[in-house]
Amino acid sequence: MTSEMGDNLIEYVTSENRVWPLKWHEFSKLIGLNKPGFLPPLILGGAAESDAAKRQRLIDQINFIATDPVLLQKADVFLRSLPEDGWYRSPDPLSDKDRW
């Protein structure tokens, strides 16, 4: 389930070749890393996942909080405040091949 704010945030994080924020763990802690059902970022143990899988995981995280306007606002501010070099980027179409 998404909201208009969630849809707008997803549009932002998938624009300009963005794939995942370099501060992904910090973002995940902000929005609920320890909540039941929360999908962790694909770093460390998930680092070998494809760019497509990583982008989808970020979208899934945003969708996970889409019904909580307070968390969604925090997520929006956090992600939009990252500098341009605060994102891993890859041109579309994203690879669906694992990195290893």
Nearest Cα residue to 79 out of 5, 12, 4, 11: 12
Question: What predicted TM-score, i.e. pTM, was given to this entire model?
Answer: 0.88
Cβ proximity of 99 and 52 under 8 Å: no
Residue spans per domain, the chain: 4-84
Q: For the segment 44-68, what is each residue's pLDDT rounded down to a tens digit? A: 777 788 889 999 999 999 999 999 9
Residues whose CB falls within 8 Å of the CB of residue 18, separated by 6 or more in sequence, listed in order? 12, 55, 87, 88, 89
| pLDDT of res. 2 | 59
